[in-house]
A = this chain, B = another copy of it.
């Protein structure tokens, strides 16, 4: 229950992100790359986090979150996604603008604030990018992780989220006019490159397999 520094919180978040749900062993270099820092710096922090019993760590072997570390990481993720929802829903920011602000807001301490924010937003289950928001017990809402590239011709789908949240991808689909909740009809799939011709907002156009693979959908 000790209060973590902003830096420690960011390391836990990075380990959580890289390790994924499987809680795989995470390499020092991977953490360094994600946090734009050096492997030597990461080693220092891993020793410290192990000392605080937040992670498992054996020199040269890798690291994974222990339960307490995972709880912390999910708590930060919860705040991040709630704040992103606030920024888009209440302050009318675009979904491609909010990540950097949320990186700061996720470190605001008060859990009471977090819970009231969630209530104010109507207990949202997904953030503006369609990513699931864990509840205060750390449980994620369920969702099928089907992407548009799996859709068959002559099916109608709804856009539920983005797999790649990078500014580049968000800007690209913003240019196409695609937003969460939009309906898309798959007209045909090209054998050669798996690209799709879709109908969206009364327009027909082609979308690459790569772009389609980064759009989560629900089949209608």
Contact = CB atoms under 8 A, between A and B. Distances in A.
A104 B93 contact: no
Contact of A93 (B105, B109, B116): B116
Interface stretch (A56-64, A84-92, A185-193): A84-92
A176 interface: no
Nearest to A87: B113
A151 to B, nearest CB: 37
A117 B91 contact: yes
Contacts of A113: 87, 91, 101
A101 B111 CA distance: 10
A120 interface: yes
Interface in A100-143: 100-101, 104-105, 108-110, 113, 116-117, 120
Nearest to A91: B116
A108 B116 contact: no
A108 B105 contact: yes
A109 B91 CA distance: 16
A33 B91 CA distance: 38
Contact of A101 (B87, B92, B100, B108): B108
A202 to B, nearest CB: 32
A117 B104 CA distance: 16
Contacts of A108: 101, 104-105
A135 to B, nearest CB: 18
Nearest to A117: B91
Given A104-B109, A105-B108, 14 more contacts: A87-B113, A90-B120, A91-B113, A91-B116, A91-B117, A91-B120, A92-B116, A93-B116, A100-B110, A101-B108, A101-B109, A101-B110, A101-B113, A104-B108
